[in-house]
Structure 1
Amino acid sequence: MASEQAKEAKLNEKIIGEFQQLRNEQRNLVNNLNTLEMDLKEHKTVIETLKTVDPERKCFRLIGGVLAERTVKDVLPQLIENKDFIEKTITRVNEDLSAKGQQINKFKEEHNIKIRGEQMSNEQSRSEEEEKTSENRNVLVSN
């Protein structure tokens, strides 16, 4: 009897560990997505600024920790290419994030995992819906 409870406890710990690992992977994807979106915003700002500047003007670009002197006409195409690559990467990370969310939901359903915060919010929304329907019953409309 005690051995069965111990086995069940170990199984539950393993399931919880796997679930937490999935959630951590999802958080990492979100953090990467936020970083990429900030980089994209910076690239767009720099590109818009450099488009208004003389193409022969010198500018500086940080490449691998080294500041390199270039001209605007040399740097602008590279920045546009980097921006396009970042946009493609953001699309890919969004797809990975939605797939990870589906994987987490499937795992929750398979192992009947309930998250305390979600359960309370569902109960609150149900009680709010019941209050709204009870309020609607007491309305008198005259023409």
Structure 2
Amino acid sequence: MTSKLSSEDREQSPMNEQAIAGIYTTMRSELNQIYSKITELDMEVSEHSLVINAIQPLDPSRKCYRMIGGVLVERTVKEVLPAVQRNKEGLEEVIARLNEALEKKKKEIAEFELKHKIRIRKEDNEAEDGLKEGSAQGVLVGPANRQE
């Protein structure tokens, strides 16, 4: 009977390992999605900053065009500037919340790794990174004994 239990445990173990690997992969992809969303929103914040810096010194009564829902609308700088600033502030708040979610997800992944004793193999990645960095940092050097 004990041999049957141990073989049953062995059969369930690979399934559990596969399930754990699937959950871990899902968690990592969620982390990557958060990273990409933060990057995307950072780009939007920088675009908003460019617009603010461009129209701030202008006369408040000057014509200004703004895209609203795919429609280009004519407004004045006085009307558009506060709206762009509010949008930028809202984006910054969303980025702050996403950063909090990112830290929470990192902790969750770290706890999951400890609980299930997950170790990531970095040998292949380090070798690839070394090749990439080496090729990006190449220096062109002429002959050492060159006399002019």
After TM superposition, the score normalised by the length of structure 2 is: 0.76
Residue type of the alignment partner of 2:20: I
- Does residue 1:8 correspond to 2:13, yes or no? yes
Indicate the residue corresponding to 2:22 in structure 1: 17
Indicate the residue corresponding to 1:31 in structure 2: 36
Q: Distance in 2 between matches of 1:4 and 1:105?
A: 26
Residue type of the alignment partner of 1:90: I
Alpha-carbon distance, 1:97 to partner: 0.4
Whichever structure has more helix as a proportion of its residues is 1
Alpha-carbon distance, 1:38 to partner: 0.5
SS of 2:122 mapped into structure 1: helix
Indicate the residue corresponding to 2:108 in structure 1: 103
Runs of 4+ residues deviating >2 angstroms: 1-6
Residue type of the alignment partner of 2:51: V
Alpha-carbon distance, 1:68 to partner: 1.1
Indicate the residue corresponding to 1:125 in structure 2: none
Alpha-carbon distance, 1:52 to partner: 1.2
| Counterparts of residues 55-94 of structure 1 (less than 5 Å) | 55-94=60-99
**Structure 1 unmatched ranges of 5 or more:** 122-143
Q: Distance in 2 between matches of 1:105 and 1:26?
A: 12
Percent identity reads 38
Alpha-carbon distance, 1:2 to partner: 4.7
Count residues with an aligned counterpart. 121
Higher relative contact order (Cα pairs below 8 Å, separated by 6+ residues)? 1
**Structure 2 unmatched ranges of 5 or more:** 1-5, 127-148
Residue type of the alignment partner of 1:100: K
Indicate the residue corresponding to 1:131 in structure 2: none
Deviation digits for residues 77-126 of structure 1 (CA, Å, limit 9, x no counterpart): 101111111111111111110110010000000000000017x97xxxxx
